[in-house]
Structures are given as structure tokens and as C-alpha cells.
Amino acid sequence: MFLTRRSAIAARRLTSNIKLCAWNSTQSNNTTHFGSKTVPVEEKEKLVGDVFSSVASKYDLMNDVMSLGIHRCWKDHFIHKLDAGKRPNSTEPLNFIDVAGGSGDIAFGLLDYAEEKFHDTESTMDVVDINPDMLKEGEKRAMENKKYYNDPRVNFMVQNGEVLDKIPSDSKDVYTISFGIRNFTNIQAGLNAAYRVLKPGGIFYCLEFSKIENPVMDLAYQQWAKLLPVMGSIVANDYNSYEYLVESIERFPDQETFKSMIEKAGFKSVGYESLTFGVCAIHWGVKV
């Protein structure tokens, strides 16, 4: 039994490494994927930016359409599972960074959770996004709910998540990213940047669409996914953006392959939890 289990683990690792090599081979130095298209690397950033500028004001609607509203449950579970906040016996507040977090939903949710559970009103949050339109949406929400508007603890920053050049190394306790990393031109560069900005002992925490493990459920989801661009056209008058978003999900590595990429960045204690049959997954790792 022990040998069988050990062999199974080795087989999974080998399969993951093969998939990682295959996935990397599709990314040359000069080209990358934008949905189903192969485009020059320098063009993808603008193309993705155009997509999110288009959907910024309808961001929640977009996620509701793509997940049948379940994204709200996933995000709530993501925040509760992380369980982050300054503990009562701690003298130091936490420094959070939420990348690709322009809408503010994860950032505000994390701060709300820290306050409600730990009475933490000191921890800070950098809300980082490459897209100014998404950041404006987050600032608008902060203004509407008033709680985090002009709060010195919350800082909105235009930043490329693959570089994070305005964020000092070893400065953050918690790095979160929700439904954003699959849109990076170079995902490995983004993981490397996450590792750099975290303090030793800091936590990387990622929520992203993934690969469904049940063949029957996967078939049903694929049929649903074919309808999403049409629904995007109906509810948001935006077929092309929804088509890209569906294709970006299909292109994203599976759970084991992405786990290998996180490990490659240097993280330890790497793991993941699949949600809703693997429609999405929470991934984590610790900087040592």
C-alpha cells in the first residue's frame, strides 16, 4: 500500500511537471496567448486592459454571469479560510496587498473580516491593479460605503502585478489575488513578484478558475461556457470580452500544474483546495 501511494504521488508530480513544460512551451519569448489567439507579448497587456476597461462598471454582473452568482460564496470562503488579521496578543498590524484587486471586493472583505473577528482596525491594505478603470471602480465603492473612503490604511495603486516595482521586497505579510492571475502575460513572473514582496513567513493566497475533476460535470460546464459570450452580449452588450474571459479560463493551468509553478517561485507548504467540483480553486504557499 505504501509503495502504491508513493508511486501515485510520484506519478502525479511527473504528470504535473510534463504539463508545466508543455504549458511553458506555448509561451515563447515573443508571443503569448490572448484567449484562443497567439499575440505578441507586448500587445497582450493592452488587449487585457481593454477587456477590463470594458467590464469595469459591470464587474459584479460579469462574475455573476460567469459563475451563476457562486463567486460570492467562493470569495467569502476564500476570506474565511485565510483567517487573516492582527491577533489580540500581537503588537504588529498586518500589511496586506491585494493584486488585480481594483474592484475592492476582496480587499474590503479582508479588512471587514479582520475587524469583525479580531477587532483589528490597524492592518493596512494596498489595492493594486494594472487597470486604472478597475481602480476607479474600487474607489467609487469605497466612497459609496464610506467605510474605507479616505482611510489612510487603504492605498489604491496602479501597478503591473508581474513587476510590483513600487512595492519594497520583504514588506508584505499577506498577498492575495482573486480571479486575476490568469490574465497576466507572464504568470510565473507574477508568482516571482509575489514571493519577492512577501516577508519571510508571509502567505500567498490565490483564488482562480481551474479544471473540473468530474468528467460529467466538466461536460456540463463546457456547454454552459459556450453560452457565456452570448449572455455577455445580452446582459452587458459585450460579446468579445466574455469570449476572452471564457477562453482565458480554458487556457489556465490545472491545479497540479499551477501548484508546481507556485513551488518554482520558491514557496513552501504549497497546496490547494478545489471548489464546486474544481470550477475554481484556492491556492496557497508560504515564503520561508
Q: Is 161 annotated as a binding residue?
A: yes
CA 185/CA 206 separation, integer angstroms:
17
CA 145/CA 93 separation, integer angstroms:
23
Selection from 191, 199, 208 nearest residue 266 by Cα: 191
Sign of CA dihedral 22, 27, 28, 32: positive
- As given in the structure block, the three cell numbers for residue 175 are 498577498
- As given in the structure block, the three cell numbers for residue 12 are 502525479
Q: Is 103 annotated as a binding residue?
A: yes
Residue showing cell 486575476: 180
Q: Is 160 annotated as a binding residue?
A: yes
- DSSP readout, 180-224? -GGG-SSHHHHHHHHHHHEEEEEEEEEEEE---SSHHHHHHHHHH
Q: Is 64 annotated as a binding residue?
A: no
> Are the C-beta atoms of residues 110 and 82 closer than 8 Å to each other?
yes
Binding residues: 103, 129, 160-161, 178
Annotated binding site for S-adenosyl-L-methionine: 103, 129, 160-161, 178
